Chain A
Amino acid sequence: MPDDVVNLTIDGVPVSVPKGTLVIEAAKQAGVLVPHYCYHPGLPVAGLCRMCLVEIEKQPKLAIACATQATEGMVVKTQAEQAKRARTSVLEFLLINHPLDCPICDQAGECELQDFTFQEGRPATRYSPDYAKRFNPVEDFGPDVLYVPNRCILCTRCVRFMEDVAKEPVLNVSERGDRAYIGIHPDERLDHPWAGNVVDLCPVGSLLSKDFLHKARAWELDKTAAVCTGCSQGCNVTLDTRENVVVRVRPRPNLEVNRYFICDHGRMNYRWMNRGDRIEAPLVRRDGELRATDWDEAVEHVATRLRGAAGRAVALVSPRASTEALFLARELLGGGGAGLDWTGAFQVVMGEEAPLPGVPDLALRAERAPNGTGAELLGYRRDYPAVLAAAESAAVVLVLDEPEVAVRTAGALIYVGTVLPEGARGAEAVLPIANVAEEDGTFVNRDGRVQRYFQAKPAPGMARPAWWVLSELLVTLRRGEHLASASAAFDVLAERVAPFAGLSYSSVGLVGQRVSVGAGVPA
């Protein structure tokens, strides 16, 4: 038996965990979720809510699973009568000062106090209605955070996040005893670029997002795994949609990328996914005007243009486009049989870098686009102005969802995008595509990690994912096979582009995988 592993039993289930593992984490391996409030794997242990009390054989008192290390031969019983009684009593204590305002509380439905009370709470309170409940007014903590002290259970996750992770200790526990509440420094606001995480961390409805306030009930939300498009860090997120409208972005844990957190920039970067001014039908130029048509005709129209083209071809692409779309755009203009002299480029909006000091290598990156690395790996250049200038004399210019486009070209302009900017109105054809929330795809983050995102809502009208549009063009040009899915498009990419060799959607999975080292990954 290796020295660095200990074996223990949790509720009768034997597990082996690395030495130093906390009982609460070991229990997860045994399929047991020990109820808890103050514990969070991304924060220092506080051990104060006392909710995770469990019985451990040969120990005289109940122990808190969040601060007890697993040891060899330990026998943990989370369902022991006295442990259950103790946790039920903690719930009762937590509820005596907690308002029963679940019907108007944003947290309802995803509230850990509701969940564990349902699981092992008392059916009725013994706290007499004669006794007052603690009351403090709602406080405005910062740009996106409201504090509702009446619902607070003083778990201090928010305090510890600001102190130990954000390293900007503006929150504290003020007062003592049952008068305690979360206080904010009188001269400070909760406006750290990562402050919004306190809302996710709050196990109850005490810290609320103003942006999400009273917008939806938790049980109405559909949740989709996605990757943040706010910068090149590639934080894993969940898109919450309600009736096909994205209403919230929350972090999705990925220990390699963003642990449990996302920045406020990323959190607020979703409204454009719902914009209503989308192109909903393919448009082709006939008699000098863009006219709506069906996909068959549109694809044929573009294919005809490409068949006859010779000379220079330019692709101006968005670094927010999927790796699959970027690859197929390159195949279309520069692939074998295209007969064109291909150049591609992208431009990235830059902003201020904002690190989360408590987590190494995690920041809102200056490069505010999710797939710059993917574009580079596929041969797209960063010298956008030069390539834009070259577009003037190109035979074909393909624009892939670049909204800032203002192309002057003597050749055929093919615009593939979600919305139709003024600068693309001279296009030969306009092909409507799905946005990031409406398709499956991958991005490659700044560390060369390929990460998948999933379709969260349908695309409007006739818009199709870019990989589908581009692959149909290749099929019509007899230069490619029909592709049934983004996954199939990725398989072709992995076959043809060295750094992606050996990768597939199933191997990338939900946590991502790095492209081959040494295969042209930008430093």
Chain B
Amino acid sequence: MGYPHKPHPKETVLLSKHFGEVDARTYKGWVKRGGYEVLHQVLTMEPSKVTDVVKESGLRGRGGAGFPTGLKWSFMPKEKKKPHYLCVNADESEPGTFKDREIMRWTPHALLEGTAVAAHAIQAEVAYIYIRGEFTEPYAIMERALTEANAAGVFGKIKIHLHRGAGAYICGEETALMNSIEGKRGNPRIKPPFPAAFGVFGMPTTINNVETLAAVPHILQNGAAWYKRLALSSPKSTGTKLFSVCGHIQKPGNYEVTMGFPLKDLLYELCGGMPPGRTLKACIPGGSSVPILNREESERCLLDYEGVVEQGSMLGSGGVIVFDDSADMVYQIMRLARFYAHESCAQCTQCREGTAWATKILERILAGQGKAADLDLLLDLSENMTGKTICVLSDSCAAPIVSGIKKFGSEFEAYLSGKKHPVLAA
């Protein structure tokens, strides 16, 4: 964590080591902490060698999908015939996730260094860091850091641009982000073609998450073997991961633990457990888009890509949303659905209409006017919204609805039968 609390002994602080140190934001302060040493070495290396190290390390994308980073880099054309681009996804908008924000706030140079390393690896001269529009403070910090680093000339011929989003969740989807950089409406594109062949401005492009790139210099500094050893459970999930914990929890914040760390320990030890007198009811482990875990699943869950899947959810972005026994799951799920209905880009029919329809059904249930058939209808709509659209926003809306009804069906029934007092106006 590092900020606002000192790291817990069970944390493995790699990315968050300098959180809270104002001095680390400056170029001088960063260099004093060993910053940019790796970059200087990397710039003299063969790009494919850099990719090989990252591939070997087992680093996987921290934005949500968990795709192996080195493999992604290797999809870029070996022989460079067109300009290559690197896009950095700093449009962190997933409800419950706030790790990239902290990386940019405290260690802007870590991101810049990782960006330059990745750009070198994929032979890109230009990198765009696409920063969420609402991130005014991180943007200002990044801008200052970039100016200083440019003045020091550390990036060689690599040119890094900061680009601000304008407040659309969907622009965090990689192809929508590219459209947005191009000045177009942030609509996801159909794939194929994939970004490595036809990305931003139609050129070969790689897009990586902030946390992914912040980890890259550590890998090159300490070696792939060292990084691979950072795994408590599955060997396919390596390194450390920042978890943004929020909700009904004593000490919310960002916690950095080694992959495979038990969710139970994160909640009860690192975060100090539930508020007094409360017990854990549910937990969304990977940002709002993934299925909800109930208490038993949460307490069994190991925090790596495989461990969370085993419990029926996904590691996602590592945004851990905690619900104690006071939470009204129907209301919580309605809020999530409403979010997705608001943010749907309106391209795919299922998403545009389905997210809004599901929200209306949930709102009516909360108004005490739900119909017996509503739950089956919600499940059927959710199925129709899953796996059939350009991007996964629609799936993301369906995931909490399906898991919510499955695991907290009695709360829905209480509204439907009139046992629970309506919380929304009809």
A173 CB, nearest partner CB in chain B, Å: 6
**Given A93-B350, A126-B377, A128-B371, A176–B384 Cβ distance below 8 Å?**
no
Asked if B352 contacts A45 (CB within 8 A), the reply is no
A49 interface residue, CB < 8 Å from B?
yes
Least CB separation from B186: chain A residue = A176
Asked if B350 contacts A61 (CB within 8 A), the reply is no
Q: Give the chain B neighbours of A45 by CB distance below 8 A.
A: 190
B348 interface residue, CB < 8 Å from A?
yes
Of B356, B384, B389, the residue contacting A177 (CB under 8 A) is B356
Q: Give the chain A neighbours of B387 by CB distance below 8 A.
A: 61-62
Asked if A53 contacts B353 (CB within 8 A), the reply is no
B396 interface residue, CB < 8 Å from A?
no
Name which of B97-105, B196-204, B312-320, B339-347 contacts chain A: B339-347
Residue of B342, B348, B352, B356 with most partner-chain A CB within 10 A = B352
**Given A130-B364, A172-B185, A86–B343 Cβ distance below 8 Å?**
no
Of A48, A53, A178, the residue contacting B347 (CB under 8 A) is A48
B3 interface residue, CB < 8 Å from A?
no
Of B170, B357, B373, the residue contacting A96 (CB under 8 A) is B357
Mask of A53-87 contacts with B, CB within 8 angstroms, 1/0: 10000000110100100000000000000000110
Asked if B390 contacts A48 (CB within 8 A), the reply is yes
Mask of B211-253 contacts with A, CB within 8 angstroms, 1/0: 0000000000000000000000000000000000000000000
Interface residues of A in 248-307 (CB under 8 A from B): none
B410 interface residue, CB < 8 Å from A?
no
A129 CB, nearest partner CB in chain B, Å: 12
- In angstroms, Cα B353 to Cα A46, docked, is 18
Asked if B388 contacts A131 (CB within 8 A), the reply is no
Mask of B347-369 contacts with A, CB within 8 angstroms, 1/0: 11110111111001100100001
Q: Give the chain A neighbours of B354 by CB distance below 8 A.
A: 93
Asked if A154 contacts B346 (CB within 8 A), the reply is yes
B168 interface residue, CB < 8 Å from A?
yes
Asked if B341 contacts A178 (CB within 8 A), the reply is yes
Least CB separation from A69: chain B residue = B192
Q: Give the chain B neighbours of A126 by CB distance below 8 A.
A: 373, 377
Asked if A89 contacts B343 (CB within 8 A), the reply is no
Asked if A51 contacts B190 (CB within 8 A), the reply is no
Least CB separation from B188: chain A residue = A48
Asked if A89 contacts B350 (CB within 8 A), the reply is yes
Asked if B388 contacts A51 (CB within 8 A), the reply is no
Asked if B343 contacts A49 (CB within 8 A), the reply is no
A403 interface residue, CB < 8 Å from B?
no
Interface residues of A in 165-204 (CB under 8 A from B): 172-173, 175-180
Q: Give the chain B neighbours of A51 by CB distance below 8 A.
A: 349
Q: Give the chain B neighbours of A130 by CB distance below 8 A.
A: 364, 369
Q: Give the chain A neighbours of B357 by CB distance below 8 A.
A: 93, 96, 127, 131, 178
Of B353, B356, B377, the residue contacting A94 (CB under 8 A) is B353
Question: Chain B at the A interface: mostly helix, strand, loop or mixed?
Answer: helix
Question: Chain A at the B interface: mostly helix, strand, loop or mixed?
Answer: loop
Interface residues of A in 77-133 (CB under 8 A from B): 85-86, 89-90, 92-94, 96-97, 126-128, 130-131
**Given A90-B350, A93-B350, A178-B352, A53–B343 Cβ distance below 8 Å?**
no
Q: Give the chain B neighbours of A89 by CB distance below 8 A.
A: 350, 381, 384
Mask of A19-62 contacts with B, CB within 8 angstroms, 1/0: 00000000000000000000000000111111101000000011
Asked if A93 contacts B353 (CB within 8 A), the reply is yes
A227 interface residue, CB < 8 Å from B?
no
Asked if B384 contacts A47 (CB within 8 A), the reply is no
A474 interface residue, CB < 8 Å from B?
no
A345 interface residue, CB < 8 Å from B?
no
A161 CB, nearest partner CB in chain B, Å: 17
A153 interface residue, CB < 8 Å from B?
yes
Q: Give the chain B neighbours of A180 by CB distance below 8 A.
A: 346, 352
Q: Give the chain B neighbours of A175 by CB distance below 8 A.
A: 346
B401 CB, nearest partner CB in chain A, Å: 15
Mask of A138-177 contacts with B, CB within 8 angstroms, 1/0: 0000000000000001101000000000000000110111
**Given A126-B377, A127-B357, A131-B357, A47–B190 Cβ distance below 8 Å?**
yes
- In angstroms, Cα B371 to Cα A132, docked, is 17
- In angstroms, Cα B189 to Cα A48, docked, is 9
A184 CB, nearest partner CB in chain B, Å: 15
B416 CB, nearest partner CB in chain A, Å: 14
Residue of B346, B371, B377 with most partner-chain A CB within 10 A = B346
Q: Give the chain A neighbours of B185 by CB distance below 8 A.
A: 172-173
Q: Give the chain A neighbours of B353 by CB distance below 8 A.
A: 93-94, 96-97, 178
Q: Give the chain B neighbours of A46 by CB distance below 8 A.
A: 190, 347
- In angstroms, Cα B389 to Cα A342, docked, is 70
Q: Give the chain A neighbours of B360 by CB distance below 8 A.
A: 128, 131
B95 CB, nearest partner CB in chain A, Å: 16
- In angstroms, Cα B347 to Cα A67, docked, is 15
Asked if B390 contacts A177 (CB within 8 A), the reply is no
Q: Give the chain B neighbours of A172 by CB distance below 8 A.
A: 185
- In angstroms, Cα B355 to Cα A94, docked, is 13
Asked if A177 contacts B371 (CB within 8 A), the reply is no
- In angstroms, Cα B353 to Cα A97, docked, is 8
Q: Give the chain A neighbours of B371 by CB distance below 8 A.
A: 128
A127 CB, nearest partner CB in chain B, Å: 7
Q: Give the chain A neighbours of B168 by CB distance below 8 A.
A: 176
Of B341, B344, B349, B388, the residue contacting A153 (CB under 8 A) is B349
Mask of B167-202 contacts with A, CB within 8 angstroms, 1/0: 010100000000000000100001000000000000
Q: Give the chain B neighbours of A97 by CB distance below 8 A.
A: 353
Interface residues of A in 220-264 (CB under 8 A from B): none
Interface residues of A (CB under 8 A from B): 45-51, 53, 61-62, 64, 67, 85-86, 89-90, 92-94, 96-97, 126-128, 130-131, 153-154, 156, 172-173, 175-180
**4 closest residue pairs by CB, A with B:** A180-B346, A89-B384, A178-B356, A93-B353
Q: Please list 7 pairs of residues, one from A and one from B, whose beta carbons are closer than 8 Å in the complex, sorted by A's number.
A: A62-B388, A131-B357, A172-B185, A175-B346, A176-B344, A178-B355, A178-B357
A sample of 5 more A-B contacts (CB under 8 A), given A50-B348, A176-B343, A178-B346, is A48-B347, A67-B190, A93-B350, A93-B357, A128-B364
